[in-house]
Structure 1
Amino acid sequence: MRILHTADWHFGRQLEGRDRRAEQTAFVDELCRIADEREVDLVVIAGDVYDSVNPPAWAEELFYEALERLCREGQRGVVVIAGNHDQPERVRAAAPLAAKHGIVLLGLPKEAPLQPETTGEDKVRIVQGGPSWFELAVPGCAHHAVIVALPYPSESRLKELLSDSFTQEEMQLAFSERISRLLSELSTHFRDDTVNLITSHLFVMGGMETDSERPIQIGGAMTVSTQAFPEKADYVALGHLHRLQKLCDKPLIRYSGSPLCFSFSEAGQSKAVVLVDIVPGEEVREEIVYLTSGRPLARWKATEGIAQVENWLAEGRDAGAWIDLELHVSDVIDPAEFQRLRKLSDDFLKIQRVVVREQSTEETEERVELSELAPDQLFRRFYERKRGAQPDEQLVAMFQRLLVDSGKEEQA
C-alpha cells in the first residue's frame, strides 16, 4: 500500500497581511497531481486543515474540492484528523457525505468513524472500527490498513482531567504516559497481515519548531515521548510542526511539515509531502517529494543602501520569493525615497530600517578616556550632560557614600 502523508495546510492563513489563496490553490493542484501520478492508495492529512476555528468560506470550499479530487470517486482512501487550530465539529461536519466516498473525517480523539452500509467492495470501505481506530480496505490493495487516528488530544478534547495540582514536569510526564497507554490499547488492533498506521496532531519531544507554529499549550506540558508510540506501528504520520523531519526509525515517526512557509523563520526551507510504501512484514520504504507550488521566503540584508537593493532586483535575485528586507542606512530616509523603495517590488512583505551610525575618532577617544575616569568623575560628566550644569559637592558626596554602601553589601 502506498500512503501519502501531508499536514498543516492552514487554509486561510496570511503572511504579513498578504493573502496566500493562490499558493494554497496551487498546492491542492500539485498534491492531486502527485497522488495520481504516483498511484497513491491512501492520503493521510494529519491536522490543521484550517488556520482558525472560523475559516473563510473559500478555505472550506478549497478543502472540500481537495477531498473530492483526492478520493477519486471512492477509489482512493482519504483520512483527515483535526488539529489544534481546527474546530473538531467543523472538520467532521461533512462526514455523513464524505464516508460514502471512502473519506474518513475525525474531529475528536476517541471518535469512531462513520461506516455507511451502501459502500460496495469496489470502493474504499471500513471493514471494522471503533473509537480512534478502523480497518480500511482499498480497491486494488492486497492488504488492509489498520489506522489508529488520534486528532489533537488536549485534556478538554479527551474529556479527561489529568490533574489540577501537577507541576509542569509532572503534567508533561502524565500526559505522555496517558497518550502512551491510549496508543498501546489501540495498537492491539494491529495485525501481522495489515498495514499498521498511527496518525495524530501533537508535539513529540525532539521535534524542531519554527516561529510559525502557535504553541499547543504554554509551558510545553502537552508533549509526548517517542517511546509513547508502539513498535507494532509501521508508520506514524504526525502534524503540528511545520518543518519536515524524522524523529525515529522504529517505528518510523515523521512530521511531513507544512506545504507552505508561514514565517520568515522558515526562509530557505524546502516543503514536501512524504510517500510511504508498506508491505506487511517488510521494511518500510519512504520517499520525500518536494513541492514547488508555494512561493519561497528570502531575507535580504542591504548594508549599502537602496542602490544595493536596486541592483539585486535588476539581477533577479530570489525571483518569485516573498522578501523580508533589512535596510541599513546612516541616517533617516526621506519619506518619498522610502515610498519609492516600497514600489520597486510587490515582493517586499517587510522593510525594516536599521540606522547604522559610524563612530568618529573623537567618540572612540572619548570612550577610552571615560574608561580611565574615577566613579565620581563619571558621575559629574553624566550629571552635566543630563542637567546642563555641574553637580554641587554635597550631591557628589552623597553619590560616593551610596557607592561605598553598595560595595559593602556586595562583600557581605
Structure 2
Amino acid sequence: MRILHTADWHFGRQLEGRDRRAEQAAFVDELCRIADERSVDLVLIAGDVYDSVNPPAWAEELFYDALERLSREGTRGVVVIAGNHDQPERVRAAAPLATKHGIVLLGLPKEAPLIMEEAPSDRVRIVAGGPSWLELAVPGCEHHAVVLALPYPSESRLKELLSESFTQEQMQLAFSGRIAELLADLARHFRDDTVNLVTSHLFVMGGLETDSERPIQIGGAMTVSPLAFPEKADYVALGHLHRLQKLRDKPIVRYSGSPLSYSFSEAGQSKAVVLVDVVPGTEVREEIVYLTSGRPLARWKATEGIEQVERWLAEGRDAGAWIDLELHVSDVIDPAEFQRLRKLSDDFIKIQRVVVRDDRDEDGGEERVELAELTPEQLFRRFYERKRGVQPDDRLVAMFERLLAETGGEEEAE
C-alpha cells in the first residue's frame, strides 16, 4: 500500500496581509497530480486544514474540492483529522456524505468513524472501527490498513482533566504518558497482516519549530515523547510543526511540514509531502516529494542602500519569492524615496529601515546608530538638516516638541 502524508494546509491564511489563495489552489492541483501519477492508495491529512475555526467560504470550497479529487470517485482512501486551528465539528460536518466516497473525517479524539455497511468491492470500504481507529479496505491493495487517528488531543477535547496541581514538568510527563497509554490500547487493533498507521496532530519532543506555528502547549506542558508511539506501527504521520522532519526511525515518526511557507522564519526551507510504501512484514520505504507550487520566502539585507536593492532586482535575485527587506541607510529616508522603493516590486512583504551612521569613536572603531536608538528630537534635527542643509533653531525644535506632545505619541519619522 502506498500512503501519501500531508498536513498543515492552513487554508485561509495570509502572509502579512497578502492573500495566498492562488498558491493554496496551486498546491491542491500539485497534490492531486502527485497522488495520481504516483498511484497513491491512501492519503493521510494530519490536521490544520484551515487556519482558523471560522475559515472563509472559499477555503472550505477549496478543501472539499481537494477531498473530492483525491478520493478519485471513491477508489482512493482519504483520512482527515482536525488540528488545533480547526473547529472539530466543522471538519467532521460532511462525514455522512464523505464516507460514501471512502473519505474519513474526524474532529475529536475518541471519535468513531462511520462504518460502511454495504459498498462495492471496487470502492474504498471502512470495514471496522471505533473511537480513534478504523480499518480500511482499498481497491487493488492486498492488505487492509488499520489507522489509529487521534485529532488534536487537548485536555478539553479529550474531555479529561489530567491534574489541577501538577508542576509543568509533572504535567508534561502526565500528558505524554496519557497519549502513550491511549495509543497502546488502540494498538491492539494492529495485526501482522495489516498496514499499521498512526496519525495525530500534536507536539513531539525534539521537533524543530518555526514562527508560523501557534503554540498548542504552555511551556512544553502538552508535549509527547517520541517513544509514546506503539512499536507495531509501520508509520506515524504527524501534523502541527511546519518543518519537514523525522523524529524516530522505528517506527518512522515524521512531520510532513506545511505545503507553503507561512512566516519568514521558514525562508529557505523546501516544502514537501511524504510517500510511504508499506507491505506487512517488510521494511517500510519512504520518499520525500518536494513541492513547487508555493512561492518561496527570502530575506534581503541591503547594507548598501536602495541602489543595492535596485541592482538585485535587475539581476532577478530570488525571482518569484516574497521578500522581507532590511534596508540599511545612512539617514532618514525621504517619504517620496521610500514610496518609490515600495513600487520597485510587488514582492516586498515588509521593508524594515535601519538608519546607520558610520562615525569613528575614540578608538577609531565604527559606531552604529539605529533608528530605534534616536529620540524624536534627534530624528527631527537629522531630517531637517538633510532637507535644508542647516540645523533647525531652538524655536523650531520647541514647536516640533509641542506638536508632538499634542498628538499624544511619538510617531515614526520617515
Normalising by structure 2, we get a TM-score of 0.87
Equivalent in the alignment of 1:210 = 210
Equivalent in the alignment of 2:242 = 242
Deviations 1:305-331 (A, max 9, x none): 000000000000000000000000010
Deviations 1:343-371 (A, max 9, x none): 00000000000011112356859x9xxxx
The residue identity in structure 1 corresponding to 2:178 is: R
Equivalent in the alignment of 1:126 = 126
SS in 1 for 2:3: strand
Aligned residues: 366
Equivalent in the alignment of 2:95 = 95
Equivalent in the alignment of 2:312 = 312
Q: Does 1:70 align with 2:83?
A: no
The residue identity in structure 2 corresponding to 1:176 is: S
1:9–1:259 contact (8 Å) kept in structure 2: yes
Equivalent in the alignment of 2:400 = none
The residue identity in structure 2 corresponding to 1:13 is: R
Q: What percentage of residue pairs aligned between the two structures are identical?
A: 86
Equivalent in the alignment of 2:136 = 136
Equivalent in the alignment of 2:153 = 153
2:132–2:149 contact (8 Å) kept in structure 1: yes
Q: Does 1:16 align with 2:16?
A: yes
Q: Does 1:2 align with 2:28?
A: no
SS in 2 for 1:44: strand
Deviations 1:108-136 (A, max 9, x none): 00000011334222200111111000110
The residue identity in structure 2 corresponding to 1:264 is: F
Equivalent in the alignment of 2:194 = 194
Give the Cα–Cα distance (whole angstroms) in 1 for the partners of residues 287 and 362 of structure 2: 62
Q: Which structure has the greater CA radius of gyration?
A: 1
Give the Cα–Cα distance (whole angstroms) in 1 for the partners of residues 125 and 319 of structure 2: 46
2:297–2:323 contact (8 Å) kept in structure 1: yes
1:260–1:295 contact (8 Å) kept in structure 2: yes
> How far 1:220 sits from its partner (Å)?
1.2
Change (3 A) 1:330 1:124: same
Equivalent in the alignment of 2:55 = 55
Deviations 1:223-244 (A, max 9, x none): 0001100110000000000000
SS in 1 for 2:27: helix
Q: Does 1:171 align with 2:171?
A: yes
Equivalent in the alignment of 2:353 = 353
Give the Cα–Cα distance (whole angstroms) in 2 for the partners of residues 280 and 116 of structure 1: 24
SS in 1 for 2:359: coil
Matched ranges for 1:389-408 at <5 A: none
Normalising by structure 1, we get a TM-score of 0.88
SS in 2 for 1:101: coil
The residue identity in structure 2 corresponding to 1:223 is: T
The residue identity in structure 1 corresponding to 2:155 is: E
Give the Cα–Cα distance (whole angstroms) in 2 for the partners of residues 218 and 297 of structure 1: 29
Equivalent in the alignment of 1:79 = 79
For structure 1, list consecutive stretches of 5 or more residues without a partner in the other structure. 368-412
Matched ranges for 1:360-379 at <5 A: 360=360
Give the Cα–Cα distance (whole angstroms) in 2 for the partners of residues 324 and 361 of structure 1: 32
Equivalent in the alignment of 2:110 = 110
Give the Cα–Cα distance (whole angstroms) in 2 for the partners of residues 48 and 137 of structure 1: 26
1:100–1:118 contact (8 Å) kept in structure 2: no
Give the Cα–Cα distance (whole angstroms) in 1 for the partners of residues 118 and 335 of structure 2: 67
Equivalent in the alignment of 1:36 = 36
Give the Cα–Cα distance (whole angstroms) in 1 for the partners of residues 223 and 56 of structure 2: 30
Give the Cα–Cα distance (whole angstroms) in 1 for the partners of residues 265 and 50 of structure 2: 21
Give the Cα–Cα distance (whole angstroms) in 1 for the partners of residues 138 and 124 of structure 2: 5
Give the Cα–Cα distance (whole angstroms) in 1 for the partners of residues 348 and 293 of structure 2: 19
Q: Does 1:297 align with 2:281?
A: no
Equivalent in the alignment of 2:336 = 336
Change (3 A) 1:361 1:82: closer
SS in 1 for 2:65: helix
Deviations 1:79-119 (A, max 9, x none): 00000000000000000000000000000000000113342
Deviations 1:2-59 (A, max 9, x none): 0000000000000010000000000000000000000000000000000000000000
SS in 1 for 2:70: helix
Deviations 1:256-292 (A, max 9, x none): 0000000000000000000000000000000000000
Give the Cα–Cα distance (whole angstroms) in 2 for the partners of residues 176 and 99 of structure 1: 31
Equivalent in the alignment of 1:398 = none
Equivalent in the alignment of 1:375 = none
Give the Cα–Cα distance (whole angstroms) in 1 for the partners of residues 218 and 194 of structure 2: 38
SS in 2 for 1:218: coil
Equivalent in the alignment of 1:287 = 287
Give the Cα–Cα distance (whole angstroms) in 2 for the partners of residues 302 and 143 of structure 1: 57
Q: What value does the CA root-mean-square deviation take over the aligned residues?
A: 1.1
The residue identity in structure 2 corresponding to 1:16 is: E
The residue identity in structure 1 corresponding to 2:174 is: A
Give the Cα–Cα distance (whole angstroms) in 1 for the partners of residues 23 and 151 of structure 2: 26
Give the Cα–Cα distance (whole angstroms) in 1 for the partners of residues 99 and 9 of structure 2: 21
